[in-house]
Structures are given as structure tokens and as C-alpha cells.
Structure 1
Amino acid sequence: MRNSRQTAATGSRRPRAEQRKGRAKARAAGRPSAADEHAAHRRQLLRQMLLIRRFEERCVELYSAATIRGFVHLYIGEEAVAVGVGQALDSGDAMVSTYREHGHALARGMPADAVMAEMYGKATGSSRGRGGSMHLFDLERRFYGGNAIVGGGLPLAAGLALASRMRGEERVTCCFFGDGAFAEGEFHETANLAALWGLPLLLVCENNLYAMGTALTREHAQTDLAMRAASYGMPAWAVDGMDVLAVEDSARRAVASIRSGNGPHFLEARTYRFRAHSMYDPDRYRSKEEIEQWKTRDPLTGLAGRLQAEGQLDDRALERLERDVAEEVDRAVRAAESAPEEPVENLMRFVTSAGEGVS
């Protein structure tokens, strides 16, 4: 198997002189060079991860002030997985998420103001304020939401993939879940049927080493989850989930193979959440030293450092990215604060399929 880090960084291996020559030729032709496009793409990956991080950091502030309530599960530290996988998916593909879903939703292209309004429980939220943090949904972007049940999204994803195959559509369904869900019956049933029926399904296990407060080694006798997934007869491999370029490369290879009719694929993204399981969690099951050690592999600073080292990002450009993201988050908060509550008379809407206004 090719080294995904090397594959993702192909452009950086070209001699600087050759890159400059390519840029000059492209400028003369009035178009961006391949090297310029490559650098712009990497900067966009960084921006997406920054948006997820700053959005969630603001959510921490708002939750602590009791401005937003309910359950909140943060994705901080895992941004490279959602952003990297998202690059491999087309607009017609489907995405199924977990209750730790803000990053997936934003990476899928859901507007930050719709996500923030949902956090506030406002009518302009992606689920009209009825779902909150764990139940984001966007039919237009084929984002089939979060799921409060561990592993609950897996059978739904298999159904979406089966529907695509029966309709003759060249669509892929991507399903995110954690290492805790790997121990649930839903995973094994879904993996078996997906392989048996050759479904166009990408299973992405975000292995952050803890199922709530239970360490991977206390839950699984065999901790190589990719190897276990391969036993169902599907291609499966692990990828460094703290490296967005490696994740993107692995996801693109998997999705291309699925589109070619090779059935389901499994990616084990080995990652880590820097925050507790939820805002209610005292986080006493792991040491501060362990957390700090993982923070040295922060996906944001890792990519920013690579871009700076390769001359694709300077301090001013990074400051512009941070400022642009901060303004987007500020706009989302202002929009959520000024958005209306759903009227009480709409309480029974969307409760049953026959309800008025259901589409």
C-alpha cells in the first residue's frame, strides 16, 4: 500500500525551481499553476478546520454562560477526519453522522448560522430548533444528521446506500461512527450486509481511543479495528486521523474504488478528542499528560506548520484566515441571537408523517 502521507504531499517534492517555472508559465497563460492550486487547496483545508475549531470554542463559551443548553459533544482535535473525508465526497453523496457532529456538518457545507441557530433552539436552525446539537439535518446537502444512539446511524447509512444501488445512482454514502459503536451489534450487522450486497458505503470509524470514558484497551480484545473490519470481506485500513492530507488521500482512494463498483470500504481514522466526552463529563478517566501529548499533534498547527515550511502560507495569510473565520462565527452568533423562536402553535408540526407542513 502506498504511503498516504507521501501521496498527499506529492506537490511538495517538486524542486522549488520547477515550481517557480510552472507558476511563471501558468501566469503567462492567464491561469493558476498546478502548484498554486495545490497550495490554495491546502489553505482551504486549514480554513475548514479553523472554522470547526473556532465554532466549537464559541459553543463552549455560550454553553458555560447557559446561552445554549442540552447536550454538547465537542469535536475539537478530530477536525482532520471530517475535513479530509469531506474532500472525497460529491454533492450527490450522502453523509450520516453521530451525536459529535458539528464538525461533520460544517465540513459538509452546512452554513454556520444554521448550525448555530440550531444550538440556540431557534426556528432558523437546521432542524427548526427541535434537534439541538445532536440532531443537525440538511436534506439539500444530503446530510442525514446526527444520531443520539451509539451506532444508530449505521443501519440508516446501509439503507441509503442500498437505495442508491437499486436506483442505479453512482452515489456513495459515508457513515461516521466511533470506536464505541464498533462494539455494537449495528456495526457488525451493517458491515456484513454491506459486504454481502456490495453496497456503495464508506464506513469511517473515528477511533479516538475512548468510548465515552472507557478506554479502547478495556473494551476490545483486539484493538486493530481495521483488521477486524476486513474480516467481513471489505477493503479496510487505518489512517493517521490527525493528518488531514493523509485522511483526504485515503478517503479519495476509498471513494474512487467504491464508485468503481468494489463495494463497501472501511477507514479507521486514529484520532483523539482534546475535550471531554461531553460538556457534562468531568474527564477523570485519562491523564492530563496524555491529553497534552496528543495536543502536540494538533491537526491545525500541524498543517499550518507544513504550509509555512513549504512557503505556501505566511503569518499575514494565517492572520487573514483567523480573522475571516472569527467574523463568520460572530455573524452566526448574531444571527442566532436575533432569530425567532418557533411559535407554540407549531408544536404538533413534524411529529407524524401526516402532519401539516411535512415534506
Structure 2
Amino acid sequence: MQMSRDTLRSAYRQMRVIRAFEDAVNRAFAGGEIPGFVHLYSGQEACAVGVCMHLSDQDYIGSTHRGHGHCIAKGCDVDGMMMEIFGKAGGLCGGKGGSMHIADIERGMLGANAIVGGSPPLAVGAALTAKTLATGRVAVAFTGDGGSNQGTMFEAMNMAVVLSLPVIFVVENNGYGEGTGVDYAVGSRNIAARAAGFGMPAKCIDGMDFFAVHEAMAEAVEHAQKVGPSFIEARCVRHHGHYCGDPQSYRSKEELESARLDGDPLLRFRVRVGDSALLDMTELDAIDVEIEAQIAAAVQRARAAADPAPSALMADVYLNY
């Protein structure tokens, strides 16, 4: 698929925002400024951006505990996200959700989810709504390789096929479910082939290659709108541990070094567009500088923002029907 220079610049900008955001969150968490747990998305930027560039605000995504990249790629406000992670009243969920529970329904972001394998049933429900109301919308369920083993995932895929729903299952296989290697935890050792057994198209792609993800998602969206569900296994590498502070004793020093060099989707994007003379490196360098300033300002605003009022403690906790 031929992409314009503006589209390529937009893709790089989104990936750079995710990387800078995660770097800033990592520093703030290490400094004791952020409560709770944080799971960084660095290294998987091409997947979130390649997928979400095909979606509008009216389309839906369900996320995971490692959801910052999905939120940003879906268009969630970066300032609102940073305030949420800092636990401030101006956060997208009033400072109550934190890192693992960011949601923005107006953007079609159904929420990051600390339940492993929690997003596929949500996405199937959203897709059922879209089909029933004939809105033409699609839903995407982001899941990790660990979550791909959950019964919720299997039941959601089966229901999606039975009902021919406009849903796309995206498994970001970064090699580890927490600290358990995928070669041990997935009996078939082929997540995409296992998904195909439910009766839908399924493919395995290089999740660190923005162009591969973008192309696969274009096909998946068209299939969802005309036929029904499909499955994408995007193989990628996470740059950090399962959570901030994870000692990563299950990964060798050589593997960690390789992840930052060979497994960097931003560097690979720069090489691709540079070698093809699609973009000038000075343009991308200028984007880097701009984004670093944007994220630094977001951190400062989050630090200065007000905490939630005690009176808001019980608000938005239960919904009465």
C-alpha cells in the first residue's frame, strides 16, 4: 500500500510520542512519583500505530495492562493520560484508573485491562453491537502471548466466527507472558495457526515492521467489514521488563542488548524511509525534538495538577441500571 509523506510523518510522530511518553513515565516511576504498577510498551510501537491508523474514533479497541501505546495510537489525549498515571483529578478517568485502567469511550478506547485476556470478550461485544446496528464499525482486541492462552480468548474467537462479527484479534507476541517464555507456554508454538483452527483467516507478521503491520491491518479491516473476524499475530520485542523494576533474570544480557538495537521499530522505520528517500532524516530529527518537549510539558502539568477531591471517592464506582 502506497503511503503519502504526510501519512509516514504521522506514523513516525505517533511512534515517537509513545516512546517519549514511556521513557518519561519510566523516569517518573523510578523517582517515586507514580503510584501502582507500570508496564511499558517500548519496542512495540509499530504494532499499535500500524493497527490504529486504520481506525476512526467510532471504531473500538480493547487493550491490556501494557496499554499506553494503544491509548496514544487511538488518539487519547496525552496530557489526560499523564495526569491519570500520576493519579490526578484531570486524568482521563479522574485519576482513579492509573496506568492499567485508562479508558476514553469518545475515542473508542474501551480501556486498558489488568485482567489477562480481558479485552477479547469486550471487543466481541462491541463488534456485536456494530453488526446489530449496522454501523460499519470494527472492533480490535489487543492481547499478549500470555493472554492468548486464556479461555476468554478462545470463547471470544469462537463466538466471533459463529456470529461473523467485525472484530480483529491482535496478539502482540513479545516472547514472554510476564517471565514465561512463549515456546514453553504455547503448546503448538504457533499462536496464529491455533487461531486459524477456529475458522478465521490468521497470519503471523513482523510486529516491529510498521509497514507489515499497516498492510496486514488494511486487509483485516476490509475483511471485518465484508465478511467477519480475522487474527493477526505480531511478533515483537519489549525493551523493558514485564513491569518497571522487573529484574528480568529470565533474559540474558545479550538478549536485552539485541532488543534495543535489532528490535527497535523506530530505528527500522527511519532506515526504511531513509533508504527509500521517502522522508528526510532532518524532518524526523525535528519531530524528535518537538515530541520530547511536548512530553516534558505533559509531565510538568501532571506534577502540578490537583489530586482528586475526597468527595469524589465513591463517584463512578458503581453504575445503577
The alignment's TM-score, normalised by the length of structure 1, stands at 0.87
Look up the SS of the partner of 1:266 in the other structure: strand
Tell me if the contact between 2:178 and 2:242 (Cα under 8 Å) persists in the aligned partners: yes
> Is 1:93 matched up with 2:89?
no
Query: How many angstroms apart in 2 are the aligned matches of 1:302 and 1:138?
Result: 30
Q: Alpha-carbon deviation of 1:324?
A: 1.1
Partner in structure 1 of residue 273 of structure 2: 307
Partner in structure 2 of residue 203 of structure 1: 169
Look up the SS of the partner of 2:66 in the other structure: coil
Kindly tell me: are residues 193 and 64 of structure 1, through their superposed partners in 2, closer, same or farther at Cα, counting changes over 3 Å? Answer: same
Instruction: Please give the per-residue CA displacement for 1:229-254, whole angstroms capped at 9, x wherever unaligned.
Output: 00100111011100011100100111
Percent identity between the aligned chains? 40
Report the residue type matching 2:280 in the other structure: D
Partner in structure 1 of residue 137 of structure 2: 171
Query: How many angstroms apart in 1 are the aligned matches of 2:255 and 2:300?
Result: 37
1:75 to 41, 46, 56: 41
2:128 to 155, 162, 169: 162
Query: How many angstroms apart in 2 are the aligned matches of 1:277 and 1:257?
Result: 33
Instruction: Please give the per-residue CA displacement for 1:258-304, whole angstroms capped at 9, x wherever unaligned.
Output: 111x1111000011101100013211111121222233231001111
Q: CA RMSD in A?
A: 1.3
Partner in structure 2 of residue 293 of structure 1: 258
Q: Give the 4+ runs in structure 1 shifted more than 6 A.
A: none
The 5 Å alignment of 1:186-225 reads 186-225=152-191
Structure 2's unaligned 5+ residue stretches are none
Query: How many angstroms apart in 2 are the aligned matches of 1:81 and 1:102?
Result: 12
Look up the SS of the partner of 1:140 in the other structure: helix
Instruction: Please give the per-residue CA displacement for 1:103-140, whole angstroms capped at 9, x wherever unaligned.
Output: 00000011110110001100110110001000001011
Query: How many angstroms apart in 1 are the aligned matches of 2:281 and 2:136?
Result: 42
Instruction: Please give the per-residue CA displacement for 1:83-117, whole angstroms capped at 9, x wherever unaligned.
Output: 00011112210011001000000000111101100
Partner in structure 2 of residue 133 of structure 1: 99
Report the residue type matching 2:152 in the other structure: E
Tell me if the contact between 1:112 and 1:328 (Cα under 8 Å) persists in the aligned partners: no
Structure 1's unaligned 5+ residue stretches are 1-7, 12-36
Tell me if the contact between 1:87 and 1:252 (Cα under 8 Å) persists in the aligned partners: no
Report the residue type matching 2:233 in the other structure: E
Structure 1 stretch 282-291 or stretch 136-145: which is displaced more? 282-291
Partner in structure 1 of residue 240 of structure 2: 275
Partner in structure 2 of residue 43 of structure 1: 9
The alignment's TM-score, normalised by the length of structure 2, stands at 0.97
Query: How many angstroms apart in 1 are the aligned matches of 2:64 and 2:78?
Result: 18
Look up the SS of the partner of 1:316 in the other structure: helix
Look up the SS of the partner of 1:114 in the other structure: helix
> Is 1:330 matched up with 2:296?
yes
Count of aligned residue pairs for this structure pair: 320
Query: How many angstroms apart in 2 are the aligned matches of 1:159 and 1:171?
Result: 12
Q: Alpha-carbon deviation of 1:142?
A: 1.2
Tell me if the contact between 2:236 and 2:263 (Cα under 8 Å) persists in the aligned partners: no
Tell me if the contact between 1:217 and 1:223 (Cα under 8 Å) persists in the aligned partners: yes
Query: How many angstroms apart in 2 are the aligned matches of 1:69 and 1:280?
Result: 13
> Is 1:265 matched up with 2:214?
no
